């Protein structure tokens, strides 16, 4: 039996984004192993027949000693389990997992870029230095025959090609993790005099949470008849996270309701009338796919990943990133136009069914496994 090892930093991310892919991989006869930081989802993962191997790996760039320690852990794991293929998911596992797999002699490696993250978005001196040092080294490594890449949108494809991190003929464009349209079923919004505009994501600066809050402040001065809800939590392991004191200040000012982290996202999205993600850059945001699948109008930004899901004035509205006034205008437009929201929701559902259903995405990924493993 051939084996596939997934490397992700957090067990909750694997459960949320890759569980259905792994389940289908099991059905097709592969042994599946997940190397991750263990947490609240580890028991759930093992219960569906997947072996979980604990690792200690920070999601952000840590000090060199910790990073070397993580690489050595991964070398040991790969030598012990001898996977036929390693699937590294997101930037940090790609950076460390590729080195660990190469040292251990893993015959096939897939690097799945799920967005380019803080290292590529940030203009800080540390990120710039990191990119200057690391990308040439990885470019040399990825020239080796056993490495293959997955990108989620055309913009990332272009940037990664320019950086030398993906190679012509050695990558596929597979649009995200897909959405389970049978679970996130089309559900018309309930008529209301006070529509809910919802931000649903981790509370990161580069997700646009501060612009969302500023837009809420603007709409409060306009007496727009809506409620504003934030779903998600701070993420202390991410350098882009806001802190608890900033969140508490918003709550004290009664700018928004805060529902915290939620696992029942179908029910959460059903309670919304508009879903908003004013991100600075994405791979392919799962929140927007789920919102479109349920049939909700979307407000988002004209950035990679987001514009791959929303066509302006068709299934949502697109505004410039970091522009709270335009964001407020778009939010207000949909709050005041229930008929437009309904039509946009229907268009979003059709888009997801045709292009982003999880079965379509998983089939493409497993076909890639089969192709690589049967060479």
**CATH code at 298?**
3.40.50.2000
If one compares 135 and 199, the residue with the highest pLDDT of the two is 199
Report d(CA 366, CA 136) in Å as an integer: 30
Count of positions (residues) in the chain:
375
| Shared domain check, 209 and 135 | no
* Alpha-helix runs per DSSP H in 142-239: 154-163, 209-221
- How high is the pLDDT of residue 59? 63
CA distances to 9, 77, 86, 292, 304 from 58, rounded to whole Å, are 7, 17, 19, 32, 25
Same domain, 278 and 170: no
Q: Coil, helix or strand for 65?
A: helix
In a domain? residue 91: yes
pTM: 0.91
Pull the structure tokens for residue 202. 């981790």
What's the pLDDT at 368?
A: 97
* 264 and 244 both lie in a single domain: yes
Q: Is the pLDDT confidence value at 117 over 80?
A: no
For residues 147 and 221, membership in a common domain is answered with: no
Q: Are residues 153 and 257 part of one domain?
A: no
Structural domains in the chain (count) = 2
Mean pLDDT of all residues in 113-132 = 66
Residue 43 covered by a domain: yes
Task: Quote the Cα angle for 269-270-274, to 5°.
Answer: 60
**What's the token pair of residue 156?**
């990332």
Per-residue pLDDT at 6:
98
Give residue 317's domain range.
196-355
DSSP string, 274-305: EEEE--S--SS-HHHHHHHHHT-EEEEESSTT
Can you give the pLDDT at residue 171? Answer: 93
- Whether 183 is covered by a domain: the verdict is no
236 and 316 housed in the same domain: yes
Q: Are residues 149 and 221 in the same domain?
A: no
Cβ within 8 Å of residue 76, ≥6 positions away: none
Alpha carbon distance 319, 228 (integer Å): 18
Q: List pLDDT tens digits, range 276-332.
A: 999 999 989 999 999 999 999 999 999 999 999 999 999 999 999 999 999 999 999
Question: Does 344 lie in the same domain as 369?
Answer: no
Supply the pLDDT for residue 375.
73
pLDDT at residue 282 in the model:
92
Together in a domain, 364 and 274: no
The answer to whether position 169 is within a domain reads yes
| Residues linked to residue 32 through DSSP beta bridges, in sequence order | 4
pLDDT for position 85: 98
Q: What is the layout of strands, in order, in the sheet containing 51-54?
A: 51-54, 31-37, 3-10, 85-89, 109-112, 147-151, 171-173
pLDDT at 64 over 80: no
CB within 8 Å of 239: residues ≥ 6 apart: 60, 118, 122
* pLDDT(267) > 90: yes
Average the pLDDT over each of 66-75, 196-205, 235-244, 342-351 and give the range with the smallest value: 235-244
% of the chain with per-residue pLDDT over 70: 94
Residue 53 has pLDDT above 70, yes or no: yes
Name the phi and psi angles at 300, rounded to 5: -150, -175
Q: Indicate whether 62 pLDDT > 70.
A: no
d(CA 296, CA 288): 9
Is residue 153 in a domain? yes
Mean pLDDT, the chain, whole residue set: 92
For the chain, where are the alpha helices, taking DSSP H only? 11-17, 19-27, 42-47, 64-81, 91-104, 117-121, 125-141, 154-163, 209-221, 244-252, 265-270, 286-294, 324-335, 338-351, 358-373
**Residue 187 resides in a domain:** no
* Any domain includes 185: no
Q: Which of 37-46, 138-147, 165-174, 269-278 has the lowest mean pLDDT?
A: 138-147
143-147, 169-173, 290-294, 303-307: lowest mean pLDDT where?
143-147
Q: Is 221 exposed, middle or buried (0-12, 13-18, 19+ CB in 10 A)?
A: exposed
- pLDDT for 168 equals 84
Lowest mean pLDDT among 33-37, 55-59, 100-104, 308-312: 55-59
Residues 253 and 300 in one domain: yes
Q: Does some domain include residue 280?
A: yes
With contact defined as beta carbons under 8 Å apart, do 10 and 36 qualify? yes
Within this chain, do residues 326 and 369 fall inside the same structural domain, yes or no? no
Residue 175's pLDDT is 92
For 13, the token pair is 């991310």
More confident residue, 160 or 288: 288
Do residue 121 and residue 244 come from a single domain? no
- Half-sphere exposure of residue 100: CA atoms within 13 angstroms, side-chain side: 32
pLDDT digits (tens, 9 = 90+) for 226-264: 999 999 999 887 888 999 999 999 999 999 999 999 999
């Amino acid at each position: 039996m051939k084996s596939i090892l997934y490397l992700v930093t957090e067990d909750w991310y694997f459960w949320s984004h890759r569980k259905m892919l792994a389940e289908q991989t099991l059905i097709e006869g592969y042994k599946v192993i997940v190397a991750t930081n263990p947490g609240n989802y580890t028991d759930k993962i093992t219960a569906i027949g997947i072996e979980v191997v604990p690792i200690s790996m920070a999601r952000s760039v840590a000090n060199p000693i910790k990073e070397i320690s993580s690489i050595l852990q991964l070398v040991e794991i790969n030598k012990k389990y001898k996977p036929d293929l390693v699937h590294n998911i997101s930037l940090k596992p790609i950076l460390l997992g590729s080195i660990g797999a190469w040292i251990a002699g893993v015959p096939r490696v897939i690097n799945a870029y799920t967005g380019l993250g803080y290292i590529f978005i940030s203009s800080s001196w540390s990120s710039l230095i990191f990119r200057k040092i690391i990308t040439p080294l990885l470019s040399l490594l990825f020239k080796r025959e056993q490495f293959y890449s997955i990108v989620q949108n055309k913009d990332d494809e272009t940037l990664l090609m320019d950086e030398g991190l993906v190679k012509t003929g050695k990558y596929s464009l597979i649009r995200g993790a897909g959405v389970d349209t049978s679970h996130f079923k089309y559900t018309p919004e309930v008529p209301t005099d006070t529509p809910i505009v919802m931000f649903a994501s981790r509370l990161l600066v580069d997700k646009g949470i501060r612009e969302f809050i500023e837009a809420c402040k603007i709409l409060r001065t306009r007496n727009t008849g809506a409620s504003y809800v934030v779903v998600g939590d701070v993420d202390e392991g991410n350098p882009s996270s806001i802190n608890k004191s900033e969140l508490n200040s918003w709550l004290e000012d009664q700018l928004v309701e805060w529902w915290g982290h939620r696992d029942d996202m179908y029910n959460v999205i059903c309670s919304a009338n508009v879903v908003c993600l004013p991100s600075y850059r994405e791979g392919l945001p799962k929140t927007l796919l789920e919102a479109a699948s349920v049939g909700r109008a979307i407000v988002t930004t004209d950035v990679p990943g987001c514009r791959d899901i929303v066509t302006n004035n068709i299934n949502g509205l697109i505004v410039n990133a970091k522009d709270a006034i335009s964001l407020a205008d778009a939010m207000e437009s949909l709050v005041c136009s229930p008929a437009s929201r309904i039509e946009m929701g229907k268009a979003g559902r059709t888009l997801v069914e045709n292009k982003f259903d999880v079965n379509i995405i998983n089939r493409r990924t497993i076909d890639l496994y089969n192709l690589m493993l049967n060479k």
